[in-house]
Amino acid sequence: MTSVAFIGLGHMGAPMAANLVKAGLTVRVFDLVPQAMKSLTGLGAISSNSACGAAAGADVVITMLPAGKHVRSLYLGDDTSKGLIDVVAKGCLLIDCSTIDAMSAQLVAKSAAEKGLDFVDAPVSGGTAGAAAGTLTFICGGTDKAFEQAKTVLGNMGANILHAGGAGAGQVAKICNNMLLSVLMVGTSESLQMGIDHGLDPKVLSEIMKVSSGGNWTLDKYNPCPDVMPNVPSSNDYQGGFMVDLMVKDLGLSQEAALQSNSSTPMGALARSLYVNHARQGNGTRDFSSIFEQFTNSQQIKDKG
């Protein structure tokens, strides 16, 4: 596969597309904001006038969009435009890297299959840093054959390419993981603060829990308590990282999924409520580990100021 169309050049899409160019692939790009294509064409990508224009003739189409409605209308078409599945060449592989609801992914996969096209949902984790470094994790849904094909091209942008199951399974696995992540973050925050409230040193307590049965990703990589770990958002006034607003979005998708399958998710639902409250208090653009501050007392917060 030598020719790729990349549609959607935001904070994540742009560095991802850049890695494809650097890998020597022919990359046609499109974004509704023409300015967004500039940095890519500077690297050697070819700009297009429309999504369909970029996709026509490509071996692989990759999309990176904000929400399910954008993915549905781009692939399936709407009042103003044909869908990608109407214009791509026979045998073209479709890969959507957006984080969206599983039902939209399944709907597009089904419509694509009816036209004889393979579709892979491949939401990512790893943030803008991982996108730039080419170390993203892709969690994929689709047939075995489509996954194997996708793996080759995604390998230029990520370090881990995982196969979760059939169509939509990538989205489901991503939101199960991110729902669990939010629970780890809140649970770790309240446990650390309770220790602090009893006079323990959060560094010592973190080290103990890390090697005990409380061990989890947040203690290993992303401690929410300021000054326990270097180079994490909590030690930088919760700047950078993964925004609260994005966690609220993912927790919304997880609750939407729970409603569809009539699943009970008491911890995930509680985490969503706490994160929504946190966002509404003006923390939407801070890192999601700032939920820790919901558990500290106001005096402690003020003392830092």
Q: Which residues are catalytic?
A: 174
Run of H or E including 123: none
Shortest Cβ 262–a second copy spacing (Å):
6
- The correct pick among 195, 224, 233, 241 for binding a second copy (CB under 8 A) is 195
Query: Does 104 sit near a second copy (CB under 8 A)?
Result: no
Nearest in space to 71 (alpha carbons), one of 41, 42, 112, 126: 112
The answer to whether 31 touches 50, Cβ cutoff 8 Å, is no
Q: Are 28 and 5 in contact (CB under 8 A)?
A: yes
What residues contact 79, with CB distance under 8 A and at least 6 apart? none
The yes or no reply on residue 169 touching a second copy (CB under 8 A) is: yes
Identify the residue among 187, 235, 240, 246 touching a second copy (CB under 8 A): 187
Q: How many residues bind a second copy (CB under 8 A)?
A: 85
> By CB under 8 A, is residue 204 in contact with a second copy?
yes
Do 122 and 140 meet the contact criterion of CB atoms below 8 Å apart? yes
Q: Is 205 in the site for a second copy (CB under 8 A)?
A: yes
With tokens 């290993």, the residue in question is 220
Instruction: Give residues 126-155 in contact with a second copy (rule: CB under 8 A).
Output: 137, 139
Pick the binder of a second copy from 116, 199, 230, 305 (CB under 8 A).
199
Residues 203, 208: Cα–Cα separation, whole Å = 9
Contacts (CB under 8 A) with a second copy, residues 267-286: 267-274, 276-277, 279-282
Binding to a second copy (CB under 8 A): which residues in 212-231? 212-217, 220-222
Q: Which of 283, 274, 183 is nearest to 233 (CA)?
A: 283
Which residue shows structure tokens 């220790």?
195
Residue with tokens 């929410």: 224
Query: Which residue among 198, 230, 231, 305 contacts a second copy (CB under 8 A)?
Result: 198
Q: Judged by CB, which is closer to a second copy: 80, or 262?
A: 262
- Residue from 177, 235, 240, 246 binding a second copy (CB under 8 A): 177
Identify the bridge partners of residue 78 per DSSP, sorted by sequence position.
Answer: 81
Q: How far is the CB of 249 from a second copy (least distance, A)?
A: 10
Among 6, 30, 238, 295, binds a second copy (CB under 8 A): 295
- Tell whether residue 298 is a contact of a second copy (CB under 8 A): yes
Binding-site member from 17, 100, 186, 229 for a second copy (CB under 8 A): 186
| Cα dist from 90 to 83, 103, 130, 278, whole Å | 14, 25, 32, 48
Closest to a second copy by CB, 45 vs 97, is: 97
Backbone angles phi, psi at 63, to 5 degrees: -125, 145
Q: Which amino acid is at 303?
A: D
